[in-house]
Amino acid sequence: MDYLLITTILVSLAALFGFINVKFLKLPNSIGLMLVTIIFSLLILGISVFDSTLLNLEKYIITSIDFETVLLDVMLSFLLFAGALHTNFEQLKIQRWPILVFSTIGVLVSTFLVGTAMFYILKFGPLPVDYIYCLLFGALISPTDPIAVLGILKQAGAPKNLEAKIVGESLFNDGVGVVVFLTIYNIATKGPDEMHVDTILELFGTEVLGGIAIGLLLGLITYKLMKSIDDYDIEVIITLAAVMGGTAIAHYFHFSAPLAMVTAGLMVGNDTVRATSMSEITETYVDKFWELVDILLNTILFVLIGMEMLVLTLEVNYMIAGLIAIPVVLVCRYISLIIPVQFFEKKLNFVPKTNLIMTWGGLRGGISIALALSLTQEMHRELFLVVTYFIVIFSILVQGLTVGKLVKKVALNPE
């Protein structure tokens, strides 16, 4: 089966499931698509008792797709650029210091807390796992998903400063989380003896600083090109070329493509650049084009996540570990945010219960699953894939459905 046919099937399923959600369920798109896809997959499993044709077809589609490559090397750059392009830059600038701390120190603390907790939990169970592999799991599960939560926060009418913190942190911690994961992955693969502190710092610094530098350069070039002409068709294509070309350059030099795309998106999308480089019609076309790209890729992504359940190794011990990991990850995220929130809340007028909202609103998504799929069998791939899947499903369906109510209850109506 070629990629054109697979893409056609996925887009068709995304359109059908999206229609069912909008027409009948009326849930936020990410949640509705995930739910409908899971129900669809369960129905396929039920039908397979009598006829396995559809089940075999769906499994073939999933196994034919390199989810890790498709998401991390292709989709993620488009999704992060689109998310950054539509982020409130002024609020982001005001909240820049807490966002920086949340997305760097917060990710590192969460990685070690989750990794350590899971190491001891698994150690005293039937599934002992080496500490370095537990740290890998901590790294892959710490990044939060900006795409899944953005629409929910807008729908709930969340205060702009709260929205900026959650979305801004999620945009940057995706890139940082991937870099932390790759660093620990290299240590696990090569061994600690071959990975010295200066090597680790060099790897981390190259990925992060190189990614941001590429993003700034891309943003500047895109701004200059768009400012010099007034043709909305070509200007939209310029932004598309910036994402595709920038991703290719970042991969070639081993820089962080996610951080490059977030940086470029924030530069192109901020109000000053918009006012001086885009006409009103160009701004409309650029925004609508990237909104469409964002929606299309998200629908395909959440359909893929829902279908992935058919290729999981659902052993009882794995599922128990997954259920235990859900509260562990939430508690570790809450702890990792305590000090930064307390430090910044008085200076920047945080909304009440910011730590609680950011913990519950820190949804996990496709990035965590893609990173789990990149693990080797020696790294307990099947175990951590099931655990990751449980956390992602819980965060999107349960946290996603209730975070809006939590915002309204504790942030908008604290009394």
- Which of 118-127, 196-205, 349-358, 377-386 is least confident? 196-205
- Which of 146-160, 239-253, 343-357 is least confident? 146-160
Distance CA 191, CA 202 (A): 17
Residue 273's pLDDT is 87
- pLDDT band, residue 233 (cuts 50/70/90): very high
147 pLDDT higher than 70 = no
Q: Angle 114-173-99 (CA atoms, 0-180°, nearest 5)?
A: 110
User: Across residues 229-254, what is the average pLDDT?
Assistant: 95
134 pLDDT higher than 60 = yes
C-alpha to C-alpha distances, 233 to 239, 279, 283, nearest whole angstrom: 10, 12, 11
* DSSP conformational letter for 191: -
HSE-CB for 19 with a 13 A CA cutoff: 6
Buried b / exposed e along 83-93 (16+ C-beta atoms within 10 A)? bbbbbbbebbe
- pLDDT band, residue 366 (cuts 50/70/90): confident
Reference 106, options 280, 339, 347; nearest CA is: 339
Domain locations in the chain as residue ranges: 67-412
- pLDDT band, residue 238 (cuts 50/70/90): very high
User: Across residues 309-318, what is the average pLDDT?
Assistant: 88
Residue 292's region, left for phi above 0, alpha for psi from -120 to 50, else beta, is: alpha
- pLDDT band, residue 321 (cuts 50/70/90): very high
Residue 372's pLDDT is 92
Q: Is 198 exposed, middle or buried (0-12, 13-18, 19+ CB in 10 A)?
A: exposed
Residue 192's pLDDT is 65
157 pLDDT higher than 80 = no
Residue 220's pLDDT is 96
Distance CA 385, CA 318 (A): 9
* Confidence (pTM): 0.92
Residue 204's pLDDT is 77
Distance CA 317, CA 308 (A): 19
- pLDDT band, residue 190 (cuts 50/70/90): confident
Chain mean pLDDT for the chain: 89
User: Across residues 100-116, what is the average pLDDT?
Assistant: 95
**DSSP per-residue codes, 320-350:** HHHHHHHHHHHHHHHHHHHHHHHHHHHHHTP
Contact status, residue 119 vs residue 137, Cβ threshold 8 Å: no
CATH of domain 67-412: 1.20.1530.20
Distance CA 27, CA 18 (A): 10
- Contacts of residue 98, defined as CB under 8 A and 6 or more positions apart, other chains included, come to 165, 340, 341, 344, 348
Residue 166's pLDDT is 87
178 pLDDT higher than 60 = yes
